[in-house]
A and B are shown apart, each in its own frame.
Chain A
Amino acid sequence: MKYLLLKHYRGNPTPAVDFAPMDQWTPQEVDAHITFMHDFAARLEQTGEFVDGQALAPEGAFVRYDGAGRPPVVDGPFPETKDLIAGWMAIDVESWDRAVELAGELSAAPGPDGKPIYEWLEVRPFLAEPPTVTE
């Protein structure tokens, strides 16, 4: 079963622990955080559970169709109130419980003073292919 672990810049539930944004950390703290993320992905590859991981820049815009022969409408940058996705990791695991376990571990990534940041991660199941045998 595949699940998406979604990391948000904004739009999370109330933070469990308040900490300064990453750009105010020491370089060592930033490095430690990034190393943790890399190691986590590498470990999941070793366990045969890693599918994909990507990070997204905070900038971007909303775009939509605006009628035939007209250029698309671009609305952006995103308003401050908008839920903003920072990146994701896709995993392929045996169960929902395992997905939650892994999300819990990823959420313990180190922040200032090397302490876990208790970051909220959103866990969402992928829609799969329908089974062959249905009745």
Chain B
Amino acid sequence: MNESLLRELTPAVIGVLVRRGADFASAEDAVQEALVKALATWPDDPPRDPKGWLVTAAWRKFLDHTRSEISRRDRELAVEVEPPAGPAATTDDTMRLYFLCAHPTLSPASAVALTLRAVGGLTTRQIATAYLIPEATMAQRISRAKRRIAGVPLNQPGDLATVLRVLYLVFNEGYGGDVDLAAEAIRLARQLAALTDEPEVEGLLALMLLHHARRASRTGPDGRLVPLAEQDRALWDTALIVEGVEVLQAALARDRLGEYQAQAAIAALHADAQDVSETDWVQIVEWYDELVRLTDSPVVRLNRAVAVGQADGPQAGLAALADLDPGLPRYVAVTAYLTEQSGSRQDAAKLYAEAARAATSVAERDHLTRQAARVRQRP
């Protein structure tokens, strides 16, 4: 069975139910139930018209629930079991669902969960597994999110920035459980790019494609983190890089720069280099300057310091760290790296060890511990 087809159809089917008069929360629940049923029955009995099947199944689920809840509406709806879908407005429906599920009143974790279910067509179980929490907890997180946005009309214009933020979060979560969240984020960004005319959507899509292209080289066979400089560039997916660069160039040509385009430009410059020594660090620093201007984010300044260290030497990199808060995540790791480059191996070893203690992931901690051990080995 083509599970991705099922996922693609999800927002459109929710849209059909809403236009038939269902509220978003009930429509979304009904479609989720239909999805679970489809996952169970389609492999043995594939429908000829998958979308029609889903609409019918979801509408029946919706009616079942409505009947058991309200007897008056029950009679009204019973005479109209298969009403016309109204004007076909699939693209608008999908777009509106993106906005609704990333509504600014939702917490990031809730917006992510709701987007993956209502727009992404994933089951609660799949989302729960990907985020390593119990299914019951994830189900509650989703119903709370739906209650929170219950008063928001579906046709209200939304905030694209929060939608992009949600997709970025999904992408950054990586690969958990049986669902490839990075690939799912790319699919959702691709779909969004087809629905909108905003260069930042393309910027985000390009950013994802360019990072996804390096996926095979980012971890060693034992799951260890391989830093960019040591990645086997033969493993990079050139088709994805070509696509990412094309999407990015089309976005940049429209001359409305944003943070995702700038981040994608940096990723493109890395992807363009045959090895780390050929990297155009001067241009990368220029893009970081743009990013600092656009976001004024301390994390961006930290990454900029690494690029400055490559472009102008480690002392310049360390100088670029001067104004930053040492409590920033990865601050000590960056300091350790630049210190090693500057030749102070003993200091670098201590800093790597300190950075390992402050790491927020196991892979990062192990990587930094290895760095400390490596630097200590050859004083």
Contacts and interface: CB of A to CB of B under 8 A. Distances in A.
Interface string B293-312: 00000000001001000000
Given A45-B136, A94-B108, A127-B360, A133 B263 contact: yes
Interface stretch (A17-25, A31-39, A48-56, A112-120): A48-56
Report the interface size class on chain B: 35 or more
A92 B108 CA distance: 12
A48 B212 CA distance: 30
- The secondary structure that dominates the B interface is helix
B176 A129 contact: yes
Please indicate which of the listed interface residues A50, A51, A133 has the most CB atoms of chain B within 10 Å of its own CB: A133
Contacts of B172: 131-133
A48 B362 contact: no
A135 interface: yes
A132 B171 contact: yes
A48 B134 contact: no
B110 A48 contact: yes
A48 B137 contact: yes
Given A127-B360, A130-B361, A45 B137 contact: yes
Nearest to B176: A129
Contacts of B306: 135
A131 B364 CA distance: 10
Given A128-B361, A133-B172, A48 B211 contact: no
Interface in B95-128: 107-110, 113
B137 A50 contact: yes
Interface in B139-175: 140-142, 144, 168, 171-174
A77 to B, nearest CB: 31
A104 B132 CA distance: 24
Given A51-B133, A132-B173, 18 more contacts: A44-B137, A45-B140, A46-B140, A48-B140, A50-B134, A51-B137, A92-B109, A94-B107, A128-B361, A129-B173, A129-B361, A131-B172, A131-B174, A132-B211, A133-B168, A133-B171, A133-B211, A135-B303
Interface of B: 107-110, 113, 131-134, 136-138, 140-142, 144, 168, 171-174, 176, 182, 207, 211-212, 225, 228, 263, 266-267, 270, 303, 306, 359-365
- Pairs of residues from A and B, 6 with the lowest C-beta to C-beta distance, nearest first: A48-B141, A130-B361, A131-B172, A48-B140, A127-B362, A130-B363
